[in-house]
Structure 1
Amino acid sequence: MRTTFDKMMYIFIAIYLSVWIVNGCRVGFYGDHCNILCPSHCAGNVCDNVTGTCFNCTDGWTGSVCISPCPINTYGRDCRMVCRGHCKHGCNHVTGTCDNGCDDGWQGKDCTKECAPGTYGGECNTTCGHCRAGGRCFHIDGRCPNGCDPGFEGKRCDDVCAVGHYGDGCSRQCNATTSCDHVTGICCGIPNTCSTQHCKFGGGLVAGLSVSFVVSVIVNAALSYKIFMVYCRE
């Protein structure tokens, strides 16, 4: 009388032989002598016993013999999943994670969050420039969509006005002979110092020189007149 163990062994041998006969080779092998391993990414390690082509691929792989990773920005079974976030160089073709970090302007585990307000760029570690009225810059490249605060220019508003210009859009000009504060236009006639007036009529040092010159002319004229009168009396 057969024991339970004998029955189980009989079933196992029957299944093993049926696989061998139907497929011609043991699972995981193919070829004329069934001595060639199936491609490593065949699902279940099963391939055609003659050609070695895979019936299905493991997650993240594609092709007849499953040696090609999923196309960029896709992953998973049959490469049917689309990467969720803005992964740099695409997501992991098997798991969908962002192994190489995020594209510029994005953050978070799956790179689905924009940079926090006031920051932009790679890893969101660059501070925005002087965007108008404290406005946000574009989280990817730092552009200021609404323009710059007075005294600044450039697409990211991180450049001060050129020398001789100031104010909104750097459109106002200082006096030609002086420099001025790039925001307020306060004159800087003497290097590294500013007066309290905007650059009008020469401003700062130039205005001072003009007054001195006029005073000097008046004093010299008065002295000349006095000398002339003394000479005439004699």
Structure 2
Amino acid sequence: GQFGPGCANNCSALCRGPQHACDARNGSCDLGCEPGFIPPLCVEECPAGTFGQDCGQNCSVHCVGVGDPCSHVSGSCDQGCEPGYAPPLCVRECPHMSYGDNCQEKCSANCRNSSCHHVTGRCHRCHPGFRNYFCDLECPIHTYGDECQMTCDANCLDLLCDHVTGMCDQCVAGKDGDFCQK
């Protein structure tokens, strides 16, 4: 469509609708703008930090970068996300079993339920037999089990047992069985 005196001006190609129709007097788009542009004339991009239909949505606070942190059309974070947030919109925490920059790091296999903090990767809990932030250390000698809180049985020779199950490596004299209870 056209507008103005003698219809000398073209309506913005960013007016919504198949004909890009606009008001014949002032050029304001009849059906609004395509996403990412400021109504009513639809010739300028959304201001920095906003996007979408009528520039009505804000970029995620988890977009990185300065200036215009997200696409004025889709809201995708052009320069990536803060650690712990999933691209492209950076509004969701990393999915289960992942963390860090663009959610590319995997939680430790020794994290219980493969669950860890979405930013740091610190395990919420460890599988039995492991400890430390990333569950990367076996239980200290003479201990085993959940959070390494169990002590190897006194019938285990030198109090040595499996760090996960507590089964004795060897039994003291006169005792037998996995846990030296017989």
Same-fold status (TM-score > 0.5): yes
* Structure 2 stretches lacking a partner, 5+ long: 1-37
Which one-letter code corresponds to 1:95 in the other structure? T
Residue 128 of structure 2 is matched in structure 1 by 104
- Contact kept? 2:71, 2:77, Cα under 8 Å: yes
Which one-letter code corresponds to 1:34 in the other structure? C
- Contact kept? 1:85, 1:110, Cα under 8 Å: no
Residue 25 of structure 1 is matched in structure 2 by 46
* TM-score, normalised via structure 1 length: 0.48
Residue 119 of structure 2 is matched in structure 1 by 94
Shift of 1:83: 4.2
Deviations 1:17-51 (A, max 9, x none): xxx99981122211232121123433347222122
Change (3 A) 1:148 1:25: farther
Residue 137 of structure 1 is matched in structure 2 by 161
- Contact kept? 1:23, 1:49, Cα under 8 Å: no
Residue 60 of structure 2 is matched in structure 1 by 39
Q: Relative contact order (C-alpha < 8 Å, sep 6+): which is higher?
A: 2
Shift of 1:119: 0.9
* TM-score, normalised via structure 2 length: 0.59
| Aligned alpha-carbon RMSD (Å) | 3.2
Which one-letter code corresponds to 2:143 in the other structure? T
2:105 to 76, 81, 88: 81
Matched length = 137
Shift of 1:84: 5.9
Computing the radius of gyration from Cα coordinates, the structure with the larger value is: 1
- Contact kept? 2:60, 2:89, Cα under 8 Å: yes
Residue 119 of structure 1 is matched in structure 2 by 143
Distance 1:136 1:71 in 2: 39
Change (3 A) 1:145 1:79: same
Distance 2:148 2:43 in 1: 59
Distance 2:144 2:43 in 1: 61
Distance 2:107 2:173 in 1: 39
- Contact kept? 1:128, 1:136, Cα under 8 Å: yes
- Compare the two structures and name the one with the higher helix fraction: 1
Distance 2:90 2:44 in 1: 20
- Percent identity for Structure 1 against Structure 2: 34
Residue 62 of structure 1 is matched in structure 2 by 86
Which one-letter code corresponds to 2:74 in the other structure? T
